[in-house]
Amino acid sequence: EEAREETPEDREIRRELEKKREIDVLWTLKPGAPAGGSGDEALVCSKFILAIGHNAAAFLSSFILDSVCWEVVGVVKLWNEWCRTSNTTNVLPTDSFCLFYRLISDPTVLLCQCSCYVAEDQQFQWLEKVFGCMRKEGLQVTILSTCPVADYKTQESTLTLPSPFLKALKTKEFKEHICCPLLEQPNIVRDLPAAVLSYCQVWQIPAVLYQCYTDVIKLDTVTIEAFKPLLSSKILKSLVKDVSESTKILKKLLTTNETHNNIYI
């Protein structure tokens, strides 16, 4: 069967869909001024901490983020088959969002919670628009993410593995202590975590990815607490807030999630 020639109407629809899938990064650092770019306009960043997925984002909310010490400085807006993000900062644990925070006492420390799905064809855009706003000199990146334990390749049965557990991957330039064993071959990482790590490898940015393998796909206390060994890492230990307060916040997050997920018949 011959392929049908694209009509002007088809081209217009395709252009609209492509435009709809564009990613916008909106910074509030300098109202009315360019948010980033090159040269003197780029953000000076010494540490960039990126949590991908609901459990990783909830870990940062519980143990690192504090409204007194951090301020929201940016948001990513995107649209795809699985995600419709908005620029609101009042988010629930189950919401899809991508927010950037800056440490008030040290504005070179940036943190990002990305609980939204970034499609494969949008990942390059995400990388270019986020990292394009930062100076790469002196930058160090830490990535937190989760994936199903069924994806972990090992000679033993995954049923006997003490799930959840952490594995790490790093770029050649990352020289600091790693808080868990390295991910063994032939295991691979995929999606946005892999894209960020690959980007850092190409640009020779010191970066480490901590991936939590878990058998629970929803927001889960045990999975969130599996990231706790990272609190002793050089990049996070100076950012940890009061542990007793963290426990309260974690409990509140999970309670909110359970309420949000209730189904009434």
Residues 170-200 pLDDT 10s: 999 999 999 999 999 999 999 999 999 999 9
Picking from 184-188, 219-223, 248-252, 257-261, which range would have the lowest pLDDT averaged per residue? Answer: 257-261
Kindly report the pTM of this predicted structure.
0.83
Picking from 6-10, 57-61, 170-174, 253-257, which range would have the lowest pLDDT averaged per residue? Answer: 253-257
Please indicate whether residue 132 or residue 12 has the higher confidence score (pLDDT). 132
User: Can you tell me whether residue 143 is helix, strand or coil?
Assistant: strand
CB of 42 closer than 8 Å to CB of 134: yes
pLDDT at position 69 is 92
Tokens of 228: 């706790």
**Distance of alpha carbon 116 from alpha carbon 53, whole angstroms:** 7
Which CATH architecture fits 43-83+92-254? 3-Layer(aba) Sandwich (3.40)
Tokens of 156: 């033993």
CA angle 99, 33, 75 (to 5 degrees): 10
pLDDT at position 16 is 63
pLDDT at position 205 is 97
| Residue 232: how many other CB atoms lie within 10 Å | 11
Please give the C-alpha separations between residue 191 and each of 42, 65, 120, 197, 259, in angstroms, as whole numbers. Answer: 26, 25, 7, 10, 30
pLDDT at position 217 is 78
**Distance of alpha carbon 127 from alpha carbon 125, whole angstroms:** 5
Tokens 């927010």 — which residue?
99
Please report the sign of the dihedral spanned by the C-alpha atoms of residue 59, residue 62, residue 66, residue 67: positive
How confident is the model over 1-25, as a mean pLDDT? Answer: 70
